[in-house]
């Protein structure tokens, strides 16, 4: 049946960045709805971001378009051009290979909920704008921008 029972989709709390870069995302919750529906060409994630948490480190993708749609609450989008407030019903799109790092921060006092949609291009490289981290879809490991692995990766 195509209907996905969201209550049965596993929740993943936090973010897999190496320490200490994982701290701003410690309470972030992701449910991989695309995986639950058997999708392979693109991913759809239901995200819950408590007050004070970040969606990710500020980043951009080489081969992957990304789209977010805010369902509840408000989030601050941070990118090269500055900050933009996103409220329920607002959306944002991030073209692949733009070099414009982006992330969301919940600066409000209530949990925000949003959908995150992205392709699953096997050659995609994610580069963090403000810190020395990158990763590839090919293996999912985090490395320094010079390719040196982080300990435990």
Tens of pLDDT, residue by residue over 126-141, are 999 999 999 998 888 9
Q: What pLDDT band is residue 151 in, cutting at 50, 70 and 90?
A: confident
Q: How far apart are CA 42 and CA 119, in angstroms?
A: 4
Of the candidates 76, 122, 125, 64, which has an alpha carbon nearest to the alpha carbon of residue 102? 76
- Residues 6 or more apart whose CB falls under 8 angstroms from that of 7 comprise none
At the top level of CATH, the class of 29-143 is mainly beta
Tens of pLDDT, residue by residue over 22-35, are 999 999 999 999 99
The whole-number average pLDDT for the span 64-86 is: 97
pLDDT at position 113 over 80: yes
Structural domain boundaries in the chain:
29-143
pTM, whole model, 2 decimals? 0.93
């Amino acid at each position: 049946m195509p209907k996905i029972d969201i209550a049965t989709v596993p929740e993943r709390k936090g973010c897999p960045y190496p320490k200490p870069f994982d701290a701003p995302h410690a309470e972030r919750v992701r449910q991989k709805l695309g995986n639950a529906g058997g999708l392979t060409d693109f991913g759809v994630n239901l995200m819950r971001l408590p007050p004070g948490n970040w969606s990710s480190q500020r980043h951009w993708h080489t081969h992957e378009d990304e789209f977010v749609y805010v369902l509840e609450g408000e989030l601050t989008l941070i990118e090269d051009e500055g900050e933009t407030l996103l409220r329920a019903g607002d959306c944002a799109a991030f073209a692949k290979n733009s070099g414009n790092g982006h992330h969301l921060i919940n600066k409000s006092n209530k949990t925000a909920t949003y959908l995150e949609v992205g392709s699953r291009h096997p050659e995609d490289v994610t580069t963090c704008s403000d810190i020395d981290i990158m990763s590839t879809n090919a293996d999912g490991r985090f490395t320094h921008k010079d390719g040196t692995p982080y300990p435990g990766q």
